[in-house]
Amino acid sequence: MRGYGISVDDISSAIRREHVDIAGGRLEYQGGSSEFTVKTLGEVTSFEELKNITISRSDLSLVRLRDVARVEDGLEDERSYAELNGITGISLEIRKQSGANTVNVARAVSKELEKIQTELPSDISLTPVRDNSRFIESTVQDVSFDIILGIVLVVVVTLIFLLNVRATIIVATAIPTALIPTFFALYVLDFSLNMMSLIAISLCVGLLVDDALVVLESIYKEIEEGQEPAAAASNGTRKVASAVVASTFAVMAVFLPISFTEGLIGVFMYQYGVTVAVAVGISLIVSLTLTPMLCSRLLKRNINKSAVFHVVETAHSNLETRYAAAVQAALSARWLVLIVAAMAVATGVYYAGKVPLSFTAKTDRSEFLATVELPLGTGVAESKRLASELSATIKEFEHVQLVLVVIGSGAQVRTNEIGFYVGLTPKKERNIHQNVIMDEVRIGLTRAVPQAKHVTMTQVPWISGGGFFGSDIDMALSGPDLDKLQLYAERITQAMQESGKFRDIKSSYESGKPEIQVSIDRDRAATLGIPVHSIASAISATMGGKDVASYEEHGDRYDIRLRYDKEYRDHIGTFDLIQFRSSDGSLVDFRKYR
């Protein structure tokens, strides 16, 4: 450039001047019977034509872009990086819309990925790494199994205590009869089968048979006393109807207000409380209608009793006798019973205060996140090198199946932050908890990168957002003086570290990224006739790079980026190579007016 007497502004202006399409207005032809639009096709149409753009002209020759620059069809600067188990790739995160069902979205995405995979070359593969729907489906399966197990246990316990197969069938019938309308009610209320609604249903399995058992026991007693089944069903139900209604309303009064909880907790508890209230309400209707009808048809007085019946009945009688004796003893020493009860309540209240409080339990999901924050100013090349080393370090830990590394993700594109997603072997295949592995990985990363500012470990969040760092405790300091806030933050973090009760302590305050500041001698620049804007624009184009135009090829447009070659921008001293054209047309070195 110095040899040809060309400046950066000359090249930038030439590209803009010689590579442009301009509308030429409208042409009316043959007295206005026809009309055409006019467009001047000034853009280059090939890569070779771009190289031959004329920068300047002299008496002897033309100076073209290829004479002063290396023009290449390349890639943008690498500002992000992804790696899966040591293999470089592209990380794509798909988020569902608000209100959409996670499982349905995940299944639809999986089907599309299978279609896309068939269209890709054989050396490119799509690998689903993190899928929140897998944990949801696993949890739903576990809760569904618990519901089935609860139904079976309820039937078995009922059979043991009633010692009547017909009565057990009547009670067992009440469970599905109440559950099926409950699912219909969930459909009408636009609820989904999620963890909260299924947990509510599993809780209701025992409650659903309570009313039916009370009604059945009353009817059975009437039949044992000699009444006909139809009359016994009517009389027995009448005797306990008010009690059954009162107990059901009491349960609804406990759970229904939960659904009116406000805030984030209310989002979770709304379906839980409504589901319980609906289920027990339907069970009340079943116990007062279906159960008496089945008793009038199926129950009979048991005259011929088997040997097993006599053994169990004897056990029941002994239990009843001992219970009556215990009640009699408690009534005779009522003050002692009150004192013991008061002590039990006080002990329970004391230990209730000792139980840790948290929004959600620390569940073992066989996956967790890790973040290594390097000092500000760390380049992407250094972060990539350390990321590959740390990925190999994490992979060496037992029970680690996969490690996804991401650099520069998010809107801020922070090249000094290395994010890790670690997938573990299923919980059933290991004998240690996920938290133990997280502690081991934390220690390993801290030793491997002692220069790191922060090394943090977090569980995969149930809900995205909600906090600065996704930690259990967030503390916000606010005030008009930033220096004082920084001082207070340092004192708090130091006290937390000295206490030994906290880990992954981090402050959001950052002193700033290292930078090179260019000071301009305005008087000298004005004397030479060079505006400050031209100086700043030239520095931006030569050092950081600047998009001066765009180029179309095969229907796509690509930015034309202008900057110094790598060997001329890897040292601060290369600033002196920048030249500017003064008002008299001569070239002036940058160092003369900085």
Greatest mean pLDDT range, 57-61, 168-172, 236-240, 579-583: 236-240
Mean pLDDT of 112-137: 85
CA distances from 99 to 132, 274, 424 (A): 15, 19, 29
Query: Can you give the C-alpha Rg of the chain in angstroms?
Result: 39
Question: Does the pLDDT of residue 80 top 80, yes or no?
Answer: yes
Query: DSSP letters along 161-177, please?
Result: HH--HHHHHHHHHHHHH
> What integer best gives the mean pLDDT of the chain?
82
d(CA 300, CA 224): 8
511 or 152, which is more confident? 152
Mean pLDDT of 262-291: 86
pLDDT of residue 470: 57
pLDDT of residue 468: 45
d(CA 421, CA 515): 31
Question: Does the pLDDT of residue 290 top 80, yes or no?
Answer: yes
Whole-model pTM: value is 0.69
Phi-psi group of 163: left, alpha or beta (phi > 0 → left; psi -120 to 50 → alpha; rest → beta)? left
Greatest mean pLDDT range, 94-108, 260-274, 308-322, 392-406: 392-406
Question: Does the pLDDT of residue 465 top 70, yes or no?
Answer: no
Query: DSSP letters along 317-356, please?
Result: HHHHHHHHHHHHHHHHTHHHHHHHHHHHHHHHHHHHTTS-
Amino acid code (one letter) for 362? K
Question: Does the pLDDT of residue 330 top 80, yes or no?
Answer: yes
Closest CA to 11 of 89, 67, 95: 67
Give φ, ψ of 109 to 5 degrees: -65, -40
Angle between helices 229-255 and 195-224 (to 10 degrees): 150
Question: Does the pLDDT of residue 358 top 80, yes or no?
Answer: no
